Amino acid sequence: MAELRKVAIVGSARIPFARAYTGYAEEGNLSMLGAALGGLVDKYNLKGEAIGEVMAGAVLSHSRDFNLAREASLDAGLSPRTPGTNVQIACGTSLQAALSLGAKIATGEIDSAIAAGSDTVSDSPVVFGDKFQHRMIELSRARTTGEKFKVFKGFTLGELTPIAPSTQEPRTGLSMGQHCELMARQWGITREEQDALALKSHQNAARAYDEGFHDDLIVPFAGVLKDNNVRADTSLEKMATMKPAFDKSSGKGTLTAANSTPLTDGAASVLLASEEWAKARGLPVLAYLTLGQVAANDFAHGEGLLMAPTIAASEMLRRSNLTFDDIDLFEIHEAFAAQVLATLKAWRDPDYNRNVLGRETPLGEIDPEKINQKGSSLAYGHPFAATGARILGLTAKLLNSTEKQRALISVCTAGGMGVTALVERAA
């Protein structure tokens, strides 16, 4: 078997993230993903280029998005010989895409690839109930006027009541926020701790904008020039005025709109390649995608819906013979401030490490200054499938610009799953 090749992260491009029902209210997954991919094509002179594969996905999608990755690739100006593959693992979609494509590059199946994701809450699919849906199917098959009238026998106006998309977990009936409230109580995470972490995320993100860090990462789209959720002027005092968002009746709710990610629209993409492919085109290598891990837990029976990344990170570090001391930067997706804090607490808890992670010695404490140095999802927002690509692109640039050696990425997802990755700076 041939020796595995290094997987180079050449760079990334994304459109600004916008709070739902604002800047992208008239856009859809295809237009947003096409714009993000188009930005990558322009940035690296890939117009008409045949890429090994584009892998992308969306969590909230219409039936018309069945071939999203392929159609967006064509819209972006890539060669028609570029295949497109749809993938979906909730919030870990585009990071999982990068890991899958990285494996293909490492084994020599392809030389280049783009991992991407897009999501829009503003254009969420709204469907009718099963009864009316079945009537419509029967109507499409009816041939005569009589058969068509027969389809509507017994019809009531109640059948036209639409069913809006739900964030409830099918196995528990609880939303992600409600699950995270349970995690906050289990791990003793206070409202004050959550607000402090959220404030830091906004401050770090605002500073990154002021420094020009995002100037070459973001492609303006539909009149939106920058992420519109970053709040440079927020404060703990303002955050303290927010009411609980998911537990409104018990008097114990700690998750608010201020310390939870908002519903967000957006798309992001990352260009991966072999070193040889990048060198032949005079393209940079910012970092290497070296390892990944996906894990799941029994969240329906108390293990914590958003705690699976603790398992994935532990297994990934075990495989690589690394410890937290070997990691210079941690990029932890901030679905909720409480989820990040619970994750950090679990990694240093002896019982959790022994009983869940199978470790006699805890993974340990992480220096807060190593975590999300440029802010994360609490500030930028979280278009579900796009977040992994945003984080991967940011991480590669951050490693390259700070001359740090190694970063760990952690993304929690719906369904009690987690996706993690190790990224190393190019020498």
Residues designated as active site: 91, 382, 412
In sequence order, which ranges of 152-231 are alpha helices (DSSP H)? 176-186, 191-210
389 closest CA partner among 4, 6, 17: 17
CA torsion, ordered 71, 76, 78, 84, to nearest 10 deg: -30
What gap in Å lies between CA 390 and CA 264, rounded to an integer? Answer: 13
395 closest CA partner among 302, 292, 317, 288: 288
Note whether 126 and 68 are within 8 A (CB): no
Can you say whether the dihedral through the CA atoms of 399, 402, 406, 410 is positive or negative? negative
The angle, 0 to 180 degrees and rounded to 10, between the axes of the packed helices 337-347 and 308-320 is: 40
57 closest CA partner among 331, 389, 309, 289: 389
| SS3 at position 181 | helix
Q: What is the DSSP letter of 224?
A: B
Q: What is the CA radius of gyration of the chain?
A: 22
Which helix or strand (DSSP H or E) is residue 408 part of?
strand 406-413
What gap in Å lies between CA 321 and CA 313, rounded to an integer? Answer: 12
Q: Other CB atoms closer than 10 Å to residue 67's CB: what's the count?
A: 14
| SS3 at position 172 | coil
